[in-house]
Chain A
Amino acid sequence: MLDMTEYQALYMEELDEQLRVMEEEVLRLERKEETLEGIQRLFRAAHTLKGSSAVMGYERMKRLTHNMEHILEKVRNQECEVTQELATLFFRCVDRMKQLRTEIVARKHESSGIDDLVDALASGDWPNQVNELRRIDRGNILLSVEEVNHAVRHLEQGDRAYWIRIGLTPDCEMRTARFHLILAWLAESSTNVLWTDAIRPMEGEDEESKRSCRCLILSDETSEAIQSRALAWIDVGEVEIEDCGRVELEALAQRERDDEADLMVSNDSESSASSPLQDKARVQSIRVNVDRLEKLMNLVGELVIDQTRVRQVERSLASKFGTEDSLQELGQITDHITRIIGELQESVMKVRMLPIEQLFNRFPRMIRDMSQSLGKDVELSMEGKDTELDRTLIEELGDPLIHLLRNAVDHGIEMPETRRAQGKPLRGKITISASHEDNQVLIVVEDDGAGIDPRKLVRKAVSQRLISQSEADRYTDKEAVDLIFHAGLSTASQVSDISGRGVGMDIVRAGIERMNGRIDIETNAGEGTRFKIRLPLTLAIITGLLVRVGGRTFIIPMSNVAEIVRLSHEDIHNIKGIPIVTIRNQVIPIAWIHDIFGYPNDTARSKSVPVVIVGRAEKRYALAVDELLGNQEIVIKSLGAFVGQSEGIAGATILGDGKVALILEIGGIIRRMGRA
C-alpha cells in the first residue's frame, strides 16, 4: 500500500490552485469578458483536476470535473456558447468542489452529492443551442493571428463583429459586379471588413448558392441598423446577420495555429496549449514547504540575536583590553559578519514574500456574490496585484480587508436608484490597490459610495451612550469620523446578513495594529470613503526602541514612534485629572508605562522625564519611561499559545545579554491608558 499522505498534500495544493483559476475564469465568463485563452485555462484546470482526482480516488470530484471539461471542450470548439445560466452553473460546480474539498480535509472522503450538477451539465440543453441559432455557415474560414488581434482591439473599444449573409434577388444579373458594389458599401458603412467570400470562383455551385455571399465585419452599429440599410441596397433580396463573439473570433485564428501545431507535434492538444514561456518558468522555480521557510527564518533570527551578543562582548572586551591587536581583528570580523547576516536576512525575507495577488484573487467572487444578494451593481478594480509582502502578513491581512470590502459594498455603495437620483454612474466602483511606499506597504480600499457623515456618527455614538453630548459637541469632523473605529458602534440602521452588528471596524483596526500597521480613513459625505493601510514589509524582524521602565527593559516598535522628547515636570499639566503635555501646540495625553503595568514609579525624583510620543492614526499619545536605551534590530517571537494574548504586549525578543524583553503593542497600551 502506497503512503498517500504526501500525495494528499500535493493534491490539496493543486486543488486550491485550480479552484482559484476556475473561479477567476468563471467570473470572467459571467461578465461576458471571456477570451479563448481563458476558456483554455478553465478547460485545463478541469482537466488537471480530473486527472489528479482520479489518481487520488475522489470519484465525485472526478465526475464533476469530467462533465465540466466536456462542456468546456464544446465551448472551446465553438459548439456551445457561454450563457448566463451556464456561468451560474459553473459557479455552482466550483462551490460544490469547494464543499467536497472541505469534506476531504475534514473527513477524508467526499460526502456531498453531485448528481444534480452532473445532470444539469449533461442535459443536452446548452450544447446544441448555438448551432441551431447559427444559420450562417461558418465553414472553412481562417484569419491570420494579426487580423484577429486587430479585430479584438476593436472589440475592446466597443465595436462589435457580425456575420452577414447577403442573398441577391433571383432576377439580379451581373452578380459578381453587384457583389463588388455591396462590398464597397459595406466598407463604407462598417469599420472593417474582416473576411468575405463575395469574390470567389463560383464554378460548380448551384444557382441558389451563387446568389449569396458571406462577410465578417466590424462595426459600431447595431445589427438591426446594418440589416435595414443592407436591405435597401439594389438587388438585395435577403440579409441575415448574426453576432460574432470574441471567443469565436479568436477561434478563427486558433484553428490556424492548431493546424500548425498538429503538423509539428503529434496530435497531443494539451502539450500545444502550454507555451515555451510557461515551461521555462517551471524550471526556474520550485515549491518549498512553508515549514522549511519558517525554520530558515528562525535560524536567521537566532543569528541576528547572536550577532548583537557578539557585539556586546566585543565592546566589553574593548573597554578592558583597549588596544590589543587581535581585538581590532575581532572588530573587523564582527563587522563583516554583521554585513553578511544583514544580507542573509534580507534574502530570506525576500523568499518569504508573495505577491498580494494571492489575497486579492479572493475578492472578485465575494464582491459579486454580495452585490447580487444586495441588489447593487458594483465593479471591483484591483491595482498593484504584484506588490510583494511577507506571507504571514498576507494571511493576517485577509480578514481586515474582507471586512473593509464588505462594508464598502454594504454601507458605501448606494442602491442603483439612489445613485441615479444623485447623478452618479449606476455602477458603483470599489478600488483596492497595493503599492510600496518607503519601507512600507500601502494598501488603499476606496469606494465612490455614500461616504460617512461625521455628524450622523456622533449622533449615533451619543444615542448608544458611547460618548457624552458635551464630548460630542467638541468633536471635530476628523475625530468624529474616527469614531467608526470605536468598539460597539454600527452605522447601519438595519442589521443585515453582511454587516451592521457593531463588531467590525474596531476589530479591523486591532488586526492592523497587531501587524504593527496603521489604518487611516478619509471620507466625504456623498463622494465616497478611502481607507489607507500602512504595513511593515515583514513581521519577523523589526527595528525597536529599547526603553527602561521600573528596572525592566521593554521594546517599542520604531514604526509606532513619532518622536522622542525630554520633558521636565513643569511641562506636565492636569486637565480634569488627566495628565497632559503640550508639544508643538498639540495637546497630548501622557501616561507612565509603570502605572499601566503596575510597577513602582519613582520618576518624580529625577529632574526630567524621557517621553516617547507614539502615534495612532491621527492621535498622539505620550509614554513616559525611566531611560532610553537606543534602538536595534529585533526578532519578534511569540509568547506562545499557552500564555496567549496579553493586552499591550505584542511578543518578546531576546536581547544581546540573553535576557528576554517584551515588545509593547501600542494599540493595547493606549486602550489600557484609556481605562487607567
Chain B
Amino acid sequence: MDTTKHDQYVEFSIGNEKYAILISEIHEIIRMLDITEIPNCQSYVHGVINLRGKIVPVIGLRSMLMLESEAATKSTRIVVVNHREESVGIIVDKVNKVTTFTDIQPPPDWVGGINGSYFSGIGIHEDDLVGILKMDEVLLRE
C-alpha cells in the first residue's frame, strides 16, 4: 500500500526492542510525573497522574508486553494516547524519533512470545525492524 509509506510514526525503545505508534494516535509525550498508584489494580496499571487537571491512567508497556519492569530513568517518557475518548499514558524507556517506513510487513502470529494481534505490522526502515503497535488492541486486553 502506497499511502502507508507516508504515514509518520513515533518510534520508541523498550530495552533493546523498538516499537512505534502511528503519530495520529498520540496526544502528547511528557516527562515522567508523580504517579499515584491504585491499590489492587491490574499489575500493568501503574496508577494515575495529574495531566493539567485531568486524571489520566498510566500503564507500563513493559508489563503489558510481559517484559521485566525497570525503574524510571532520565529518558523515561509517558506517551499519552487517545483510547476510546479517554487519555491513557504509556510508560516507555525512551522516545527515539519521528519516522516513516519504506515497507510494512504484516505481523506474524506471534512476535517474540507476544500475540501478533497487538501489532498492525512490522515496519522496515533501512536495516531496522520496528513493531508497530495497534494501541486499541493492546489496551483492550483484560
A→B interface (CB under 8 Å): 302, 305, 552, 596-599, 637-643, 646-649, 652, 654, 658-662
Contact = CB atoms under 8 A, between A and B. Distances in A.
Contacts of A640: 55-57, 86
A639 B48 contact: yes
Contacts of A596: 39
Contact of A648 (B39, B50, B139): B39
Q: Which of A552, A639, A647 has the most CB of B within 10 A?
A: A639
A647 B84 CA distance: 23
29 contacts: A302-B53, A552-B36, A552-B37, A597-B39, A598-B39, A599-B39, A638-B55, A639-B48, A639-B57, A640-B55, A642-B86, A643-B38, A643-B48, A646-B38, A646-B39, A646-B40, A647-B40, A648-B40, A649-B38, A649-B39, A652-B36, A652-B55, A658-B50, A659-B34, A659-B36, A660-B48, A660-B49, A660-B55, A661-B36
B50 A654 contact: yes
Given A642-B86, A662-B36, 13 more contacts: A302-B53, A597-B40, A599-B39, A638-B55, A639-B38, A640-B56, A642-B83, A643-B41, A646-B40, A648-B39, A658-B50, A660-B50, A662-B38
Contacts of A648: 39-40
Contacts of B122: none
Question: Which A-B residue pairs are the 4 nearest by beta carbons?
Answer: A597-B39, A660-B36, A637-B55, A643-B57
A658 B57 CA distance: 15
B78 interface: no
B50 A659 contact: yes
A640 B59 CA distance: 13
Interface string B88-123: 100000000000000000000000000000000000
Interface string B64-84: 000000000000000000011
B132 interface: no
B61 interface: no
B122 to A, nearest CB: 27
Q: Which of A597, A643, A654, A661 has the most CB of B within 10 A?
A: A643
B86 A641 contact: yes
Contacts of A643: 38, 41, 45, 48, 57
A660 B88 CA distance: 15
A647 B39 CA distance: 9
Given A641-B86, A642-B88, A659-B34, A654 B139 contact: no
Contacts of B57: 639-640, 642-643
B64 to A, nearest CB: 12
Nearest to A637: B55
Nearest to A652: B55
Contacts of A302: 53
Q: Which of A598, A639, A652, A660 has the most CB of B within 10 A?
A: A660
A652 B45 CA distance: 15
